[in-house]
Structure 1
Amino acid sequence: MTKPLRVLQVLRAPVGGLFRHVCDLAGYLNDKGHEVGVVVDALSFDAESQTKLKKLEPHLKLGVHPIAIPRLFGPQDIIAPFQIRKLISKHNIDVVHGHGAKGGFHARLAALGKRNVKKLYTPHGGALHFASSSAAGRIFHLLEKSLIPFSDNIIFESEFAAKSYREQIADPGDKGVVIHNGLSQDDFTPVPSNGEFDFVFVGELRDLKGVEYLLRALPQITKHDGSKPRLLLIGDGPHRQQFEELSTELGIESQVEFAGAQPARNGFARAGIAVVPSLKESLPYVVMEAIAARKNVVATNVGGIGEIFGPEKSQLVPAADVGALAKAMQAHVDGDKDLNNRNNRLLAHVGEEFSLEKMAGDIAQVYLNQ
């Protein structure tokens, strides 16, 4: 058997697909006999974060380490790499893997000069979501480019992310590796809907997720019996209030429920059609999860969603297009005659290309390759 590795995963806030990715990876590595520790942001370490990490603790033999990592650059960014560097020495870390813009920045800086420590980075969108024209974007992109020589590998979760990185930052050459996110076998258990809602959105309530376009599309849709469809929004975020106000302004507040943050499968159990109206994405777990749960899925053609849809990519709709989104949602409500065949092709594609075993196994192999 290969010598067990001691791995330190570095991320900022334990939320969303990035955290799901780290959890799945940590569980897999632990099951294979490796030892894992996690660094998270102490500034956003609330009760909900603590609950999530508590569930992960059995897979973390090297523990959870809260360190202040602000979302935007500040004085703490000078201190954090030194704190992580101490952890690397204390736990004799073999691999340090940074996730997201800030996690990747601190992980690689912390391991500078440590020849026996492998340095990896997965963007998860991260700096790629910052426009090059903005001050923050210019800073992040410059830092990304400067850290490529100090990275052993950069793991992209989609071909789209790899292409965007080459165009916006630089070509990492042979250091760049594409490994798709993956789902566990449990995720492929069907989730029947109780029909309480027609549509469900699962994600962070912020502009980037296209919630405004979803709300504006809803009034254009009518059910067979002439009634109006209902929409369930699972998630929370910085723009929740403005979306609540918009639903009132559009006169659809009785059709919409803001249910707050909870597991995606709770939403899948209450609605038959999942809508992902994002303006930007990397490789969103929620699209794969909805397909695996046997939901009908309406999604925009952004980021790596086309890779998830594979043979059904032509079914995706343009982003920021209320009319196109409403048309696709109406077609699902009407029950397109070829819908079952398309869903079966989607399910087969996701099951073959996006498994947890494949994702984590491929990443572990990158860790082990010298």
Structure 2
Amino acid sequence: MTQPLRIVHCFRSPVGGIFRHVRDLAEAQAAAGHLVGVVCDSTTGGAFEEKLFEQMKPSLALGVSRTPMQRHIGPGDLAAAWRAYGLIKELKPDVLHGHGAKGGVYSRVFGSLLRVFRFRVARLYTAHGGSLHYDEKTATGRLFFTIERLMARFTDYTLFVSDFERNAYHRKVGKPDRPSGLVYNGLRAGEFESVAAAADAADFLYIGMMRDLKGPDLFIDALAQAEALLGRHLGAVMVGDGESLPLYKAQAARLGLAERIRFLPPMPARQAFALARTVVVPSRAEAMPYIVLEALAAGKPVIATAVGGIPEIFGAGSPAVVRPDAADLAGRMAEALADLPAFAAQMPEAAVLKRRFGADAMAAEIERAYFGALAR
């Protein structure tokens, strides 16, 4: 490294995969001698996320700055954006890296404003799915992709976390005329240690945000249908939080599953993995979900939907991957329980996962993108 960089990561919601990605990246960048800071929303996240911020703060020379940021475009956006710009301007970044739709807009607009004031700033953007989940045929999709095309003019480097995401961007927004690259999400070395199921482990685990995009409702419906296929009761644990949590609890009660599904608050993934024998990821849309990588690295059998970059993790023809449909999930859940050791043996090998999805390789590739953007 020729010089330490002042790096600011800007994103909206400090939950889920984006937050995990930023934490890993910031940790690796700080360890490499860079000065790193975070700017994100102050209205989302709870006690679990606060603990994660406290763990991060000692390594973040530029600190954690939080300010309200709306999910959707609205009247409050201008005031929120001005506050966020003020925070970022004070940090004087060399690199402003935006994550997700809102963070991507902020990083590129604010980075461009800083250049007007003669700051030397590289503007990078990682979508993490974000606006790319929208249908380009809808009015909302057309609006978002028009914004993405406009923002592309103010982007020095675009990063994609899966080939699916890159292809979706090319199809819906267009091929970037500036440099871009594919860098998979990565796991730390310690995450490739197996997590044994507890003696009283449930059959299935869902862990993630409680919102329809992630498929908790599909998981609950599939559990009920798997019980019917097998002719016996099954147990499940659902770990996470979100506005729709009461709806999913009501759905479980309506299907007679209230006594067989335990709903638990957010916790570290490896702690949750001990609570069940098989992990189910029933998402309707994804970019490159960490939870799939984490579960496989921990030696857990996984059933996941064929959305986003998930098939890139498992490879062609894997029995772990199904359509985002409750009946398909239920059928695969029943098949897995019929011979769980045989199903587990068909998961990707740990050595292959380590080569493709290591945090050190991820951080090194992104650092190269930073210096390349600054050089240009």
Which TM class, normalised by the smaller chain length?
over 0.9
Partner letter of residue 366 of structure 1? A
Secondary structure of the corresponding residue to residue 150 of structure 1 = coil
1:347 aligned to which of 345, 350, 362: 350
Gaps of 5+ in 2: none
Amino acid at match of 1:355: G
Number of the residue aligned with 1:26: 26
Q: Does 1:245 align with 2:250?
A: yes
Aligned: 1:132 with 2:154: no
Structure 1, unmatched stretches of 5+, are none
The residue that corresponds to 1:38 in the other structure is 38
Alignment-derived partner of residue 359 in structure 1: 362
The aligned counterpart of 2:91 is 91
Q: Is the 8 A contact 1:119 1:151 kept in 2?
A: yes
How many aligned residue pairs are there? 368
Rate the CA distance shift 1:270–1:77 in 2: closer, same or farther, 3 A. Answer: same
Aligned partner (choices 265, 290, 294) of residue 260 of structure 1: 265
Equivalent pair of 2:229/2:334 in contact (CA under 8 Å): no
Of the three residues 213, 219, 224, the one matched with 1:214 is 219
Counterparts of 1:1-370 in structure 2, within 5 Å, are 1-44=1-44, 47-112=47-112, 114=115, 116-194=120-198, 195-221=200-226, 227-310=232-315, 313=318, 315-320=320-325, 322-335=326-339, 338-343=342-347, 345-369=348-372, 370=375
1:70-124 deviation digits (Å, cap 9, x = unpaired) = 1112344324444444444433311000011001111110111516210000111
Alpha-carbon distance, 1:173 to partner: 4.0
Q: Give the CA deviation at 1:214.
A: 1.8
Amino acid at match of 2:333: M
Aligned residue identity for 1:32? A
> How high is the TM-score relative to the length of structure 2?
0.91
Shift of 1:336: 5.3
> What is the identity, as a one-letter code, of the residue corresponding to 2:17?
G
Closer/same/farther in 2, CA of residues 219 and 340 from structure 1, 3 Å limit: closer
User: What RMSD in Å do the two structures reach over aligned CA positions?
Assistant: 2.2
Deviates more, 1:310-319 or 1:99-108: 310-319
1:327 CA drift (Å): 1.6
Structure 1 Cα separation of the partners of residues 265 and 218 of structure 2: 19
**Distance of 2:88 and 2:180 partners within structure 1:** 24
User: What CA distance in whole angstroms lies between the structure 2 residues aligned with 1:310 and 1:164?
Assistant: 19
The CA deviation at 1:288 is: 0.5
Indicate the percent of aligned positions where both proteins have the same amino acid.
36
> Within 1, Cα distance between the matches of 2:229 and 2:100?
44
Instruction: Give 1:257 deviation, angstroms.
Output: 1.0
